[in-house]
Structure formats: C-alpha cells, structure tokens
Structure 1
C-alpha cells in the first residue's frame, strides 16, 4: 500500500514537473525537502501521528513551506494530507527524485577521501 501511494503521487508530481520542463530545477529542491523532513524527527512525528488532525498538519506545511518551497511540492504535500497519506510525504518526494534520476540518467555516488576536498574538487564531483 505504501509503495502504491508513493508511486501514484510521485508519478503525478513527476509528470507535472516534466510537462513544465522543470525536472532539473525541482530535483534539487526535492532532495532538500527530503532532508528537511527526514532530518527533523519532530516534523516527521507530527506528519505521521494519527491523532493530529489534518487541519493542523496543513497549517504546519503552510507555515514551514509556503513561499519557500515550489508550489508543486506544497500542493502535493497538502493533497497527501487531505487524503490521509501524510505519513508518505517523504516517500513521495523520494519516488519523485528516483523518477527524475532515471529520466535524466543521474546516478548517486559516495566519495571517500583521506583529506578534505576543496570547493573546486567538490564542484567537479
């Protein structure tokens, strides 16, 4: 069920971004939003808590992301909350990122170095 929810919303987000020609732009923002949501246990807990009302979750999304995150993401998050899928927001964003990476043939890599990389070296990687 979780994967199905994430794929439906993630695909819709992907198609909207692709139609607007904004895959590259929105890919980076999606990665940042995932870091914010997954990196903030309190935010994740609120979004997944069954006793917190949707109205409160919607207000939280507006307070945190409205005017800061792209409208496609904000509206997708709010739609997921309205439909009772607030616990899947990070997964939806992850699914979107995976689809963009597949479409643009982007791979992930981890770089290990014995010494810190310079800014120029990091940029090249």
Structure 2
C-alpha cells in the first residue's frame, strides 16, 4: 500500500490523465519507466542523490525519456525529482494502478499452479473469475512446483487454495488429530 504522499501524487497524475483521456497510456508509460528504474537502479539512485544538481537531473531525464513518454509524464517526473519524491515512483505507480483499476472496473487476480497453465485453461480461469467478481480480470500466473497439483488463486486480500500440497497437509492434520 502506498503511503499518503505517493497516493496524493498518483491521484493528481491520474486525474490529469483521465481528464485528457490518457489514463491507460499514462499507466503503461509509468510502468515502463518503473521497469527502467528496476533494470537500472543506478539511474534512480542518481535522481535521488542530493549532491547532483537539479539541472543535471532534469537534463538526464530529458535525454533519456523525451519523445518516448508523454510530455506531461516527463514533467511529472521532473517535478517529483525536484521535490525529492522520485524515490517513491514505484509506490506512486502502484497507487496510480489502483485508481485506474478501481475507476475502470478491473481486478487483479494471481493464480499459482504446479505447472504452467495452457492458454485454454488461462482463458477459462479468467472468465470464471470475471463472472465471480463482475469485473474485468487482469490475470497473472506463476508456477510453484512445490504445490504438486491444483491451484492457488489470490484475489485482493483473499486466497483460495485448492493445491494438492494443502490438501495433503489437511489430511495429515486430521490423521494426527484422530490418532492423538
């Protein structure tokens, strides 16, 4: 969960983007910028280093990002750099995404399986979760071979675990309680 500062910056950015009809584009570009910062942590470190002048930071931002992202988003990055908040960019992106998803009836679902899901099963799970939630589903899948079989679905703060590993643990617990 983003802190109050990240939340306020994200909400301001979202409101401007939504007003211009560019909320999705801003989310995509903000995500891409965050990916760059993850791949190149020294880039973000440079932007947060107090001994480097603001003019130099702005020059680097323009050189690297100008023409590749929306001008308003570039200005936003320069503003949060100036205010010493650029280190919160990942939290801001998360808060922005939450606003976007809420306003557009989207829910994020995470499915963990023992083996990769086929495209047909992925589509079926996505449709099922969409029917259950009444919202458009963004499905993220991952593999955990320790599950042995079955699926673990995470939806917000809820988790539905039908994995074979969990079932075996439940059976073992019942047997232990029966014997003990």
Structure 1 length-normalised TM: 0.78
1:1-125 equivalences under 5 Å are: 3-112=3-112, 114-115=115-116
Shift of 1:34: 1.7
Q: Which protein is richer in helix relative to its size?
A: 1
1:51-76 Cα deviation digits (max 9, x unpaired): 22211211111111110011121110
- Give the ranges of 4+ consecutive aligned residues of structure 1 lying more than 4 Å apart after TM superposition: 115-118
Partner of 2:153: none
Distance 1:56 1:91, change over 3 A: farther
RMSD value, Cα: 2.4
Q: How many residues align?
A: 121
Do the aligned residues in 2 keep the contact of 1:30 with 1:97 (CA within 8 Å)?
no
Do the aligned residues in 2 keep the contact of 1:6 with 1:88 (CA within 8 Å)?
yes
Do the aligned residues in 1 keep the contact of 2:58 with 2:78 (CA within 8 Å)?
yes
Q: Which runs of 5+ in 2 are unaligned?
A: 127-138, 140-180
Shift of 1:19: 0.6
**Following the alignment from structure 1 to structure 2, what is the Cα–Cα distance between the partners of residues 23 and 5?**
20
Aligned residue for 1:108, secondary structure, equals: strand
**Following the alignment from structure 1 to structure 2, what is the Cα–Cα distance between the partners of residues 29 and 117?**
29
**Following the alignment from structure 2 to structure 1, what is the Cα–Cα distance between the partners of residues 13 and 43?**
22
Distance 1:16 1:60, change over 3 A: same
Higher-RCO chain (CA-CA 8 Å, sequence separation at least 6)? 1
Name the stretch that deviates more: 71-80 or 36-45. Answer: 36-45
Distance 1:91 1:56, change over 3 A: farther
Shift of 1:40: 1.8
Do the aligned residues in 2 keep the contact of 1:13 with 1:72 (CA within 8 Å)?
no
Q: Which protein is richer in strand relative to its size?
A: 2
Do the aligned residues in 2 keep the contact of 1:38 with 1:90 (CA within 8 Å)?
no
